[in-house]
Structure 1
Amino acid sequence: MGAKLNIEDFDDPSFDPFLEDALMFGDHLDPYAKIAEMRRQGSLHKGEYRTLMGLYADITKPADAQYYSVFGYDEVAQVLGDPATYGNHAYDYNIGISFGQSISTMDAPEHPRFRRIFQKAFLPQTVAAWGETLVDPVLRDLMSSFEGRGEADLVQEFTLHYPFHIIYRQLALPPEDAKIFHKLAIAQTVVSVDIEHGTEASRKLGDYFIKLVAERRANPGDDLVSSLALAEVDGEYLPENVLISFLRQLVNAAGDTTYRGTSVLLTGLLTNPEQLEAIRNDRSLIPQAIEEALRWDGPVLMQSRYARADAVLGGVNIPAGTFIDVVAGSANRDESKFPDPDAFNIFRKPQHRHFAFSFGPHVCIGQHLARVEMTRALTAILDGLPNLRLDPDKPAPQVRGTMMRVPHSIHVKFG
């Protein structure tokens, strides 16, 4: 590689974006009780999901914005599966500010044109090969710090760092930049309640990635940045603003959500030890355990859309220009589709899809990588931490959040 690039910390280096998690995403221990009550009252409710759940409104949206929140399974599927009527313009106002011209803000024909390029980097066969070259070395490094101790906090010592370290290796970032990079990446997500720090993080990551892309074009390697920097659309490099936006978003889309999903998976299994024991004895159960964790308490409870035309949804007239909060977490626990929906049950035989990775043309581009990371993490933990169990002398894990969910600690003993 070429010359050393420096990443710039916040102007106030003491700013800690992790402390704003509850402000941004809420701190409900169980939002599902209220969500279920609202779903029983009707599939649609007028209002923004954040404010319906008692959070601060999204300050990036227009002051006169009109909202509907969608709670019913069938209506959620209808919105996510009909991009011609319900577009992604809604994201221009929040993640668009942080990430820029991301594919998440685009609709057809722009969206499929650029998504095809990025999707090539995350095909199942490509991602599978990363398991040994990228994922396993990170697992070994992180677990070596606690596997001989007999106890650990699996969130603070493992899941919080695990997917981000994989991304650093994907991007071939210098290890010394990792701490600041992680702070900036997470801070981008607070823009809905803290525009100042969100935009500062976006600007500094953008400056870093612009220099990084130029350096990798001049001195390409076998990393993801080099691959995307040399990718072409219609005989030309990807537009810089689109490429930089993708790299900004990648860190959160592939890092933050996988950290949350892996933490929820471990919480579900450790609080249901008979299911953990079943997986310990039969690793073929891991894929269905992952899907159940994503359904049961998927990391992202709400997705956003925008009515591009007048529409009728669940018998309700939706005027063009309305913001639609699609409560995937409600659909994933809709009792008409999932019997006993609040139970974590890896032996469930679901007849319907979950929406943890969205649905339709904007389905998560990194879903295959997320499943590989969760599979290998659980396998490594079962192999390396015998007799794994919750620590009875410390608080049990609590999955918290209203918009995005995660336990902040999972105290365990083993050996």
Structure 2
Amino acid sequence: MTTTPTTVPEKPDVLSAEFARDPHTYYKIMRDFYPVLHHEVSGYYFVSRYEDVARIYKDSVGFSNENYAFQMEPVIGKTVIQMGGREHAINRQLITPALRGNYLEELLPQVDELATEMIDKFRTAGRVDLAEDFTKWFPINVIVKMLDLPREDLPKFHEWYSSLMAFLANLTNDPEIHAWGMRTQQEYPAYILPIIAERRRNPGTDLISRLTQAEINDEQFSDEQIKALIGLLLIAGGETTDKSIASTLKYLIMHPEQLEAVRQDPSLATRALVETLRYHPPVQIILRTTTDDVEVAGTVIPVGSVVGCVNGAANRDERRFDDPDTYNIFRTDINIRQAFAGSADHIAFALGRHFCVGSLLAKREAETAINQILAAMPDIRFADGIEPTDAGLFTRGPESLIVEFTPAS
């Protein structure tokens, strides 16, 4: 067991260059000495221990998702993740059939085909940046397929979701990032609303058409609501799945014995993904807002405060996980069967009622990507032996993932 040093280190600055290079060093300082860290520049309160973060996600009294009203709504509109009560329940019921169940089963063969098609382009290259040439685009390709939109518009979608992620994480109110978000506010609706209106008039089998026809208790989505939902899908289904896949491949390459185990038994790709979601979740921080004065870890957080739930810190809390700083796809303190449900042991998709409704789609995309990459690259390794570096505060993953391999003859 490690002992806590008696000297209290300086309070970490989440916006510092040092924090950006190695957040996990500072996450431990936060857990041990500043479990509720008030960041003066942003005014946010960052919570880092597993027990506290889990409580915030599950506690409907004292915390809300009102922060998305300024984080995302100005760009894409009001989405289900900022709703509460009956409004949230109805919207989630309308969305769920589109991302789980029969529709997901129908989509899965197309997910496999898309992965194969993309990998075929560099299968014989011997060297490739998997982040730039695969993981960055694969989830968007799936979303575009679901929406039945032109593939030549992929760069637009990537630009829009990149601006949304930057807008969401703009702690310093950078005017250029704000302006970028406002451009998306104009361009994205101008593109998608006419398509939604046409699918409502002439529905097909695509996701947009299904959403225009979805109905519960005589309630349907409006065109504006569908626009916002698709915007959310771009973020939740694009950026996060991209980083989940890239990080899993990175950590498997760093642990050759575990990589070989997955290669020999493709079903272990699920375990590898789940361990990545714990060890290095793609969404490092999710925000909530206090609806009352709330005490967390001995600190009273005032009503109306924005709280940063630091998933990346909570998932390596030694109070909850054994040997948390070790990447181990065979660990026994996570229940794999519930890893993609609201009762998950890891904290990567939030928990409780607001657990990510698209988690099963993300799971299947990642399993397909991991297994197809490993099959295509039997001796995959980091190019020039250089381990890729990560970047990002709210979402985090490899900036690039340049690998070398011997092409199959």
Q: Report % sequence identity.
A: 32
In 2, Cα distance between equivalents of 1:140 and 1:281: 19
In 1, Cα distance between equivalents of 2:309 and 2:17: 15
In 1, Cα distance between equivalents of 2:90 and 2:296: 29
Q: 1:8-42, CA deviations, whole angstroms, 9 ceiling, x for partnerless residues? A: xxxxxxxxxxxxxxx99998232010111111004
Q: How does 1:64-83 map to 2 (within 5 A)?
A: 66-83=43-60
Secondary structure in structure 2 of the residue aligned to 1:260: helix
Go from structure 1 to structure 2 and tell me whether the alpha carbon gap of 1:175 and 1:43 turns closer, same or farther (over 3 Å shift): same
Q: Does 1:395 align with 2:386?
A: yes
1:142 aligned to which of 98, 114, 118 = 118
Secondary structure in structure 2 of the residue aligned to 1:365: coil
What is the Cα deviation at residue 339 of structure 1? 2.1
Q: Amino acid of the residue matched to residue 30 of structure 1? A: D
Q: Amino acid of the residue matched to residue 186 of structure 2? A: R
Task: Give ranges in structure 1 of 5+ residues lacking alignment.
Answer: 1-22, 52-56, 58-65
TM-score by length of 2: 0.87
- Kept in 1: contact 2:157–2:234 (CA 8 A): no
Q: Does 1:276 align with 2:259?
A: yes
Q: Does 1:367 align with 2:397?
A: no
Q: Amino acid of the residue matched to residue 324 of structure 1? A: V
What is the Cα deviation at residue 225 of structure 1? 0.6
Give the equivalent residue in structure 1 for 2:5. none
What is the Cα deviation at residue 179 of structure 1? 1.7
What is the Cα deviation at residue 318 of structure 1? 2.7
Secondary structure in structure 2 of the residue aligned to 1:397: coil
In 1, Cα distance between equivalents of 2:139 and 2:361: 10
- Kept in 2: contact 1:279–1:286 (CA 8 A): yes
Go from structure 1 to structure 2 and tell me whether the alpha carbon gap of 1:257 and 1:195 turns closer, same or farther (over 3 Å shift): same
Q: How does 1:104-183 map to 2 (within 5 A)?
A: 104-133=81-110, 135-183=111-159
In 1, Cα distance between equivalents of 2:153 and 2:272: 35
Q: Does 1:305 align with 2:282?
A: no
In 1, Cα distance between equivalents of 2:49 and 2:367: 30
Give the equivalent residue in structure 1 for 2:396. 405
TM-score by length of 1: 0.86
In 1, Cα distance between equivalents of 2:334 and 2:367: 23
In 2, Cα distance between equivalents of 1:365 and 1:24: 33
Secondary structure in structure 2 of the residue aligned to 1:306: strand
In 1, Cα distance between equivalents of 2:49 and 2:278: 15
What is the Cα deviation at residue 236 of structure 1? 4.4
Secondary structure in structure 2 of the residue aligned to 1:28: helix
In 1, Cα distance between equivalents of 2:157 and 2:323: 41
Deviates more, 1:227-236 or 1:217-226: 227-236
Give the equivalent residue in structure 2 for 1:12. none
- Kept in 2: contact 1:26–1:403 (CA 8 A): no
Q: Amino acid of the residue matched to residue 363 of structure 1? A: F
In 2, Cα distance between equivalents of 1:372 and 1:106: 27
What is the Cα deviation at residue 233 of structure 1? 4.3
Q: Does 1:29 align with 2:5?
A: no
Go from structure 1 to structure 2 and tell me whether the alpha carbon gap of 1:405 and 1:67 turns closer, same or farther (over 3 Å shift): closer
Secondary structure in structure 2 of the residue aligned to 1:132: helix
What is the Cα deviation at residue 394 of structure 1? 5.7
In 1, Cα distance between equivalents of 2:68 and 2:24: 24
Secondary structure in structure 1 of the residue aligned to 2:289: strand
What is the Cα deviation at residue 211 of structure 1? 0.5
What is the Cα deviation at residue 311 of structure 1? 2.4
Q: Amino acid of the residue matched to residue 134 of structure 2? A: F
What is the Cα deviation at residue 312 of structure 1? 2.3
Deviates more, 1:202-211 or 1:30-39: 202-211
Q: How does 1:231-242 map to 2 (within 5 A)?
A: 231-242=214-225
What is the Cα deviation at residue 124 of structure 1? 4.4
In 1, Cα distance between equivalents of 2:135 and 2:180: 25
Q: How does 1:150-229 map to 2 (within 5 A)?
A: 150-191=126-167, 192=170, 193=174, 194-229=177-212
Deviating above 3 A after TM superposition, structure 1's stretches of 4 or more consecutive aligned residues are: 23-27
In 2, Cα distance between equivalents of 1:252 and 1:25: 25
- Kept in 1: contact 2:212–2:222 (CA 8 A): no
Aligned pair count? 376
Q: Amino acid of the residue matched to residue 260 of structure 2? A: E
Task: Give ranges in structure 2 of 5+ residues lacking alignment.
Answer: 1-14, 336-344
- Kept in 2: contact 1:202–1:248 (CA 8 A): no
Q: 1:304-334, CA deviations, whole angstroms, 9 ceiling, x for partnerless residues? A: 1111123222232233212211111111010
Q: Amino acid of the residue matched to residue 231 of structure 1? A: A
Give the equivalent residue in structure 1 for 2:78. 101
In 2, Cα distance between equivalents of 1:179 and 1:283: 32
Q: How does 1:277-296 map to 2 (within 5 A)?
A: 277-296=260-279
- Kept in 1: contact 2:19–2:26 (CA 8 A): no
- Kept in 1: contact 2:286–2:394 (CA 8 A): no
- Kept in 2: contact 1:335–1:341 (CA 8 A): yes
In 2, Cα distance between equivalents of 1:302 and 1:181: 23
Q: Does 1:261 align with 2:244?
A: yes
Give the equivalent residue in structure 1 for 2:310. 327
